[in-house]
Amino acid sequence: MGTKRHFKVWRGDSSGGEIQDFDVEVNEGEVVLDVIHRLQATQTPDLACRWNCKAGKCGSCSMEINGMPKLGCMTRMSTFTDDETITITPLRTFPVIRDLVTDVSYNYEKARETPAFAPPEGVAPGEYRMQQVDVERSQEFRKCIECFLCQNTCHVVRDHEENKEAFAGPRFFIRAAELDMHPLDARTDRKNYSRDHQGLGYCNITKCCTEVCPEHIKITDNAIIPMKERVVDNKYDPLVWLGRKIFRRDELEKQDKATPSRHERENMAPSNTMGVTGVASGTSTPFSSARQPEPPAVGPDGKLDVAEILSQKQGGPSPFGDDHEFPLPSDRVTYHHPTPDKD
Amino acid sequence: MTTRIERHHYDVVVIGAGGAGLRAAIEARLAGKKTAIISKSLFGKAHTVMAEGGAAAAMGNVNSRDNWMVHFRDTMRGGKFLNNFRMAELHAKEAPDRIWELETYGALFDRTKDGKISQRNFGGHEYPRLAHVGDRTGLELIRTLQQKIVSLQQEDKAEFGSYEARIKVFSETTITELLLDGNKVAGAFGYYRESGEFILLEAPAVILATGGVGRSYKVTSNSWEYTGDGHALALRAGATLINMEFLQFHPTGMVWPVSVKGILVTESVRGDGGVLKNSEGKRFMFEYVPDVFRKQYAETEEEADRWYSDPDNNRRPPELLPRDEVARAINSEVKAGRGSKAGGVYLDIASRLPAEEIQRRLPSMYHQFKELADVDITKEPMEVGPTCHYVMGGVEVDPDSGAAFGEVEGLFAAGEVSGGMHGSNRLGGNSLSDLLVFGKRAGEHAAAYTDALAKRPKVATADVEQAVDVALAPLSRQSGENPYTLQQDLQVVMGDLVGIIRREGELTDALKRLEELELRVANVGAIGGRKYNPGWHLALDLRNMLVVSICTAKAALEREESRGGHTREDFPGMNPQWRLLNLICSLDSDGDVHLERKPVPTMRDELIQLFDRTELSKYMTDDELTAIDALSGEAK
């Protein structure tokens, strides 16, 4: 039969709590969620933990296992050494309700704020025609099981409650990207939306979200970076900017009106969204997409974070990860090179 | 002790936030009703996400010969002619519209070359019929409906200033009791799982969409939510359950490793070329083709293999037989000692398709096995065996409106919790379309019912007090019996004695043990407080699981034949006399399960004529056949 293993599980509620120690039986082929269920059945019937499908498809059993955001049902016990103590804590970014259950309503609020799919006008149900190659880009993002591990790991909100209002998080960047890339979505303002209302500019593409995604969605490469590029094309290209400044006569009148015209909304004026800072705020000079010099982030005591100093490489890490060499070999790029003689 | 109860007023309360519940809620809201959705877990986590294969709808995108009549025929054939024919008819006719509608909500199905929705083959379906998104169609369905609800909320916000003006989702909320005014539904009582606080929703119409009962079995693909809540709520409110003996055991659930025992391997693995082999390496399904299917299935491996590329001129491989036949075949192989060490058989796709093709066609399957079991399905076969998967039986409803039969008014049911549509066995892919078709109908008719109501039924205070007492009882017995032990004992009884193959002696024994369990469940205790306490939640679910299990066991003992999802070793054949009968369960005044026989409705003439005389002769009694002959004589 199984062996006894040592577990540390955080127990408590919004008023506080502590790590408790348990010795519990573990059998071959089990995952962390199996062990939690055994704890409930044998030692702590009231240990609170969300779960549903136990197959990595519903995204309910998100937790932090030895500090890593993971799904309990997808973490095999065989990935730990035999004498390793396993520490399980609730998701840190969200307020604790009880034990391993957190209040994830932040995500549902952000979901509710994201404008829904807008069906194309004049296309009857049953008449939708799309090519597989076109739907595949959005389909990747629709694989999302809403486990919110990406939201949990994202440093913009992980220890920064104050950013939650202005920042929607990776889950909703891929939602915006999904709709922007949907072949038949009738709205054209998805890019601006993610800049102005989702706080896309907060993201400095550290790829932590991609790393923890149990569905292996390339959140950063396939959603966030393309969306940032589209925002840049739209907002910071000097020619586009200049083009927008030149009005036709009929447009000049509109400028005086109280309600801003579509063109005006797309001009280079700084965003009036509260809380957006840095490049995304659009307050830097319009002709430069370069980042303004910024001092490194320091703690409340004015000192640098240790990790920054102990980094093995000089300078910041590559936004594309350290395991990439550029240019990428052609079989690794995620787009098709245009071939002029095709179609 | 004083108890705080949060009160709400709604027009329609939908219990369950899976496909059927969400579709019903959308329809009720579109009809202008103030609608509440009750979800036992978080919004968007429902068991529907587990559906992999697709949604069956005769759109004819891949094979233009497909139409609703072929789909209707397949459904009746799959259910062994015990289906409620009207439900099967409505389902086949309306499924395409329901699928196309999803595209206007933003769904992205896989496409054919000409840009239409692609459709794939599936067990029991004559033509490629399942709209799909890789192998995560259920997730797409839930997400699409979830996002449609959000979009309706955004409209309401623009109009009324609040997202929740006309549709609100109560997530992590469990309903424990329906409250009546006379025989009319007046409201629903339950608790927030998070805080343990009580909630009372007053509403003249309630739609049950709570799914199935699989959690009463030890090997199951179902999530913890599947405790038969809707079935039990309906019974206690005076409604009836139909066909509870018919449970589908999915033929191919994972049996190894232990952590994922019960998780399904989609049928499309077989649709895409996967074959079943025993421990001797033999492709054994050819020996298990029953006579009724002999004509449609290949007899040699060569013919079966040709079918994948040329389906018009070859018969299909026997791996694609309806799931109960496959489950029974696997069971026989394992019992004959030709199974794997873990008690299953081998499902091999690795030797049939190139690795890249497997990864492309079955991405989440590949992913699941790799991550959960460290098995590479492109290199080695999977170990699979029967798993409790779906309950065909459920609340007996009016086919057109989804209104529950029995003594209660204002109660509707849709999806897995309702019964009749699938007869004795459900075809793969028919459940997702079932959710949409009957979810919409239930929502529509619940809304119409509230319009026709002269005055709003009232909740009686005494009923609420009683519901509170029942809910708090386990917490007052801190030293009562452990709910987890009770659940395990129940699962063993159901799994061992009311499982895939049934015998009279075992069923009688099961009923005796269930009675004993009933006494123990009455004494169940939960330690801890009311705040997010899973022990307490399970203690409350147990009585639902138990009453539904008793219905299943009683009906299984009564039906002395084998048909679809009900196999009696002592009555191995299908009996045409039994096809005429449905078994109906209700609760008598003492709260005991009462079983009665009820005739199956007779199919309309024009529907009967869709079938071959020879095919009908396999299912019908001589009297029925004479009547049919007279009918076709008249037609000539």
ipTM: 0.86
Q: What is the mean pLDDT of the segment spanning B603-626?
A: 93
pLDDT 10s digits, B258-315: 777 788 888 888 888 899 999 999 999 999 998 888 888 999 999 999 998 888 899 9
Query: CA angle, B404 as apex, B53 and B233 as ends, to 5°?
Result: 85
pLDDT 10s digits, A260-291: 444 444 444 444 555 555 555 444 444 545 55
* Cβ–Cβ gap A135/B110 under 8 Å: yes
Quick one: pLDDT at residue A232?
86
Query: Helical H runs in B203-322?
Result: 229-236, 268-271, 301-307
Nearest CA in chain A to B532: A48
Strands of A189-342 (E only): list them.
none
* Cβ–Cβ gap A40/B105 under 8 Å: no
What six digits make up the tokens of A261? 């015209």
Interface test with B, best of A70, A71, A146 (most B CBs within 10 A): A146
A340: pLDDT confidence band, cut at 50, 70 and 90? low
B532 contacts in chain A (CB < 8 Å): 48, 97-99, 101
Q: What is the mean pLDDT of the segment spanning B596-609?
A: 95
Phi, psi of A45 (to 5 degrees): -55, -20
What six digits make up the tokens of A161? 């409650």
> Looking up tokens 């000192």, which residue turns up?
A303
State percent of chain B over pLDDT 70.
99
Quick one: pLDDT at residue A284?
47
Sheet holding B394-396, edge to edge: B418-419, B394-396, B241-242, B581-587, B593-599
* DSSP annotation string for B13-57: EEE--SHHHHHHHHHHHHTT--EEEE-SSSTT--GGGG--S-EE-
The answer to whether residues B177 and B191 touch, using CB atoms and an 8 Å cutoff, is no
Query: Which DSSP helix (H) or strand (E) runs through B423?
Result: none
The answer to whether residues A27 and A2 touch, using CB atoms and an 8 Å cutoff, is yes
* Cβ–Cβ gap B41/A116 under 8 Å: no
Least confidently predicted of A87-91, B179-183, B251-255, B257-261: B257-261
The answer to whether residues B225 and A52 touch, using CB atoms and an 8 Å cutoff, is yes
Closest Cα to residue B76, out of B621, B620, B627? B620
Residues 523-562 of B with CB under 8 A from A: 526-529, 531-536
- Secondary structure (3-state) at B397: strand
Mean pLDDT score of chain B: 93
Min distance A339 CA to chain B CA atoms (Å): 20
DSSP summary character for residue B481: B
Quick one: pLDDT at residue A260?
46
- How many C-beta neighbours within 10 Å does residue B85 have? 23
What six digits make up the tokens of A127? 């008449």
* Cβ–Cβ gap B532/A99 under 8 Å: yes
The answer to whether residues B507 and B535 touch, using CB atoms and an 8 Å cutoff, is no
pLDDT above 90 (res A166)? yes
pLDDT above 80 (res B631)? yes
* Cβ–Cβ gap A117/B484 under 8 Å: no
Q: Which residues contact B512 (CB under 8 A, 6 or more apart)?
A: none
Amino acid at position B557, single letter: L
A258: pLDDT confidence band, cut at 50, 70 and 90? very low
* Cβ–Cβ gap B194/A97 under 8 Å: yes
* Cβ–Cβ gap B42/A27 under 8 Å: no
The answer to whether residues B254 and B383 touch, using CB atoms and an 8 Å cutoff, is yes
DSSP summary character for residue B524: B
Distance of alpha carbon A17 from alpha carbon A20, whole angstroms: 9
Q: Which residues contact A88 (CB under 8 A, 6 or more apart)?
A: A7, A8, A9, A10, A32, A36, A63, A64, A65, A72, A100
A58 contacts in chain B (CB < 8 Å): 41, 45-46, 49-50, 223
Nearest CA in chain B to A59: B45
What six digits make up the tokens of B389? 């998967």
Rg (CA), chain A: 24
User: With the C-alpha atoms ordered B48, B51, B56, B61, is the resulting torsion angle positive or negative?
Assistant: positive
Distance of alpha carbon A125 from alpha carbon B526, whole angstroms: 51
Quick one: pLDDT at residue A264?
43
Interface test with B, best of A112, A121, A147 (most B CBs within 10 A): A112
Interface test with B, best of A37, A117, A144, A185 (most B CBs within 10 A): A117
pLDDT 10s digits, B313-340: 999 999 998 777 888 888 889 878 999 8
What six digits make up the tokens of B86? 């009207």
Phi, psi of B410 (to 5 degrees): 90, 5
Half-sphere exposure of B278 (CA within 13 A, CB side): 19
Residues 344-373 of B with CB under 8 A from A: 364, 367-368, 371-373
Closest Cα to residue B39, out of B21, B61, B24, B66? B21
Check CB contact of B97 with chain A, cutoff 8 Å: yes
Closest Cα to residue A100, out of A21, A15, A228, A13? A13
Quick one: pLDDT at residue B206?
98
B3: pLDDT confidence band, cut at 50, 70 and 90? confident
Least confidently predicted of A110-114, B246-250, B443-447: B246-250
Q: What is the mean pLDDT of the segment spanning B35-45?
A: 96
A59 contacts in chain B (CB < 8 Å): 45
Closest Cα to residue B595, out of B608, B584, B610? B584
DSSP summary character for residue B215: G
The answer to whether residues B34 and B56 touch, using CB atoms and an 8 Å cutoff, is no
State percent of chain A over pLDDT 90.
60
Distance of alpha carbon A91 from alpha carbon B126, whole angstroms: 48
B150: left (phi over 0), alpha (psi -120 to 50) or beta: alpha
Least confidently predicted of B66-80, B360-374, B413-427: B360-374
Please classify residue A71 by burial: count the beta carbons closer than 10 Å to its beta carbon, then call 0-12 exposed, 13-18 middle and 19+ buried.
buried
Per the annotation, the verdict on B270 as an active-site residue is yes
Per the annotation, the verdict on B250 as an active-site residue is yes
Residue-level length of chain A: 343
Higher-pLDDT residue of B373, B385: B385
Higher-pLDDT residue of B371, A341: B371
Q: Which residues contact B111 (CB under 8 A, 6 or more apart)?
A: A130, A131, A132, A135, B117, B118
Mean pLDDT comparison of A72-86, A318-332, B17-31, B497-511, highest-scoring range: B17-31
Q: What is the mean pLDDT of the segment spanning B601-624?
A: 93
Residues 199-238 of B with CB under 8 A from A: 223-225
The answer to whether residues A292 and A284 touch, using CB atoms and an 8 Å cutoff, is yes
Interface test with A, best of B48, B97, B108 (most A CBs within 10 A): B108
pLDDT above 80 (res B353)? yes
* Cβ–Cβ gap B534/A46 under 8 Å: yes
pLDDT 10s digits, B77-130: 999 999 999 999 999 999 999 999 999 999 999 999 999 999 999 888 999 999
Sheet holding B12-15, edge to edge: B167-170, B35-38, B12-15, B205-208, B411-413
User: With the C-alpha atoms ordered A238, A239, A242, A244, is the resulting torsion angle positive or negative?
Assistant: negative
Distance of alpha carbon B558 from alpha carbon A3, whole angstroms: 45
* Cβ–Cβ gap B258/A34 under 8 Å: yes
Residues 439-498 of B with CB under 8 A from A: 482-485, 488
Quick one: pLDDT at residue B531?
92
Query: Which DSSP helix (H) or strand (E) runs through B393?
Result: none
Quick one: pLDDT at residue B263?
80
Distance of alpha carbon B185 from alpha carbon B460, whole angstroms: 11
Quick one: pLDDT at residue A238?
75
Check CB contact of B114 with chain A, cutoff 8 Å: yes
A181: pLDDT confidence band, cut at 50, 70 and 90? very high
A42: pLDDT confidence band, cut at 50, 70 and 90? very high
* Cβ–Cβ gap A55/B372 under 8 Å: yes
Distance of alpha carbon A72 from alpha carbon B264, whole angstroms: 19
Mean pLDDT score of chain A: 83
pLDDT 10s digits, A279-328: 554 444 445 455 556 666 677 777 666 554 555 555 555 667 667 777 77
- Secondary structure (3-state) at A283: coil
* Cβ–Cβ gap A57/B488 under 8 Å: no
Distance of alpha carbon B253 from alpha carbon B241, whole angstroms: 27
> Looking up tokens 């309630």, which residue turns up?
B206
The answer to whether residues B230 and B210 touch, using CB atoms and an 8 Å cutoff, is yes
The answer to whether residues B451 and B33 touch, using CB atoms and an 8 Å cutoff, is no
Which pTM value belongs to this model?
0.84
- Secondary structure (3-state) at A331: coil
Q: Measured in whole angstroms, how far is the alpha carbon of residue B516 from the centre of its chain?
A: 28
What count of CB pairs under 8 Å joins A to B?
184
* Cβ–Cβ gap B42/A60 under 8 Å: yes
**Which residue in the list B125, B250, B315, B502 is annotated as catalytic?**
B250
Min distance B259 CA to chain A CA atoms (Å): 5
Min distance B374 CA to chain A CA atoms (Å): 9
**Which residue in the list B47, B77, B270, B559 is annotated as catalytic?**
B270
User: With the C-alpha atoms ordered A58, A44, B488, B548, is the resulting torsion angle positive or negative?
Assistant: negative
Min distance A120 CA to chain B CA atoms (Å): 8
Quick one: pLDDT at residue B605?
92
Higher-pLDDT residue of A141, A27: A141
* Cβ–Cβ gap B143/A54 under 8 Å: no
Residues 31-50 of B with CB under 8 A from A: 41-47, 49-50
**B41, B100, B108 ranked by CB distance to A139: nearest:** B108
**B50, B104, B115 ranked by CB distance to A55: nearest:** B50
**A47, A58, A76 ranked by CB distance to B45: nearest:** A58
Q: Measured in whole angstroms, how far is the alpha carbon of residue A209 from the centre of its chain?
A: 5
- Cis omega (within 30 of 0) for bond into B257: yes
User: With the C-alpha atoms ordered B499, B500, B506, B508, is the resulting torsion angle positive or negative?
Assistant: positive
B343: pLDDT confidence band, cut at 50, 70 and 90? confident
